[in-house]
Amino acid sequence: MLQHYYTIVIKKSKPEQQTTVTATPVTPSSTTTPTAGTDLSTTYGYNLLDKIKGICAATVTSTTPLGGFAEWIVDFRPNAENQISAKNELDTLNNIFISFFIVKHNNEYNLAFRNSGRFAGKQRVSYILDDSVVETSNRWYYSFAEVVKGKIRAYSEVIFCADSVYLKS
């Protein structure tokens, strides 16, 4: 069973109960960036780009030897119409670079997620695509899986409940 690499909880007050949503892995294909003049606002999962932007304080908990961080300030800023990113230096051996962006996959535009940086001094990078999006009036769920091997290789979930954001990888 794949365990969470880390969990980031961004809170402005108290979280609500979560429910589990099951998602299936995407199939392999090449990816490219969107062409100029494309309306990206209809892209599956596009609303995440607007919901996640801004500055929040977070707690990082981890099941790895790294442990957690009591306070993590994250600043998600748009790089372009189709990308929002944040880079954080946790300490001299650990940093996190997170980016959400639109790519063309299987002739459709999809939301992609890059999770990279240094972990215990070692470089790492994962590129994963959205495979499930559930948006309701009080909860937004976005699931991402690695393109070739699915969730057995890499996955992340981004969950918005009330005024909190949960990022699980």
Domain boundaries, the chain: 7-168
**Contacting residues for 52 by C-beta, under 8 A, at least 6 apart:** 76, 84, 100, 158, 165
User: pLDDT tens across 20-51, in order?
Assistant: 333 333 334 444 555 666 778 888 889 999 99
pTM of the model: 0.74
CB atoms within 10 A of CB 161: 17
Please write the tens of the pLDDT for every residue from 57-86: 877 777 777 777 788 788 899 998 899 999
When computed from its CA atoms, the radius of gyration of the chain, rounded to whole angstroms, is 15
Return the structure tokens found at 40.
């990206």
* pLDDT, position 129: 92
- pLDDT top residue among 158 and 169: 158
- Enclosing H/E stretch for 50: helix 47-51
Q: Could you give the angle at the alpha carbon of 33 between the alpha carbons of 86 and 151, nearest 5°? A: 65
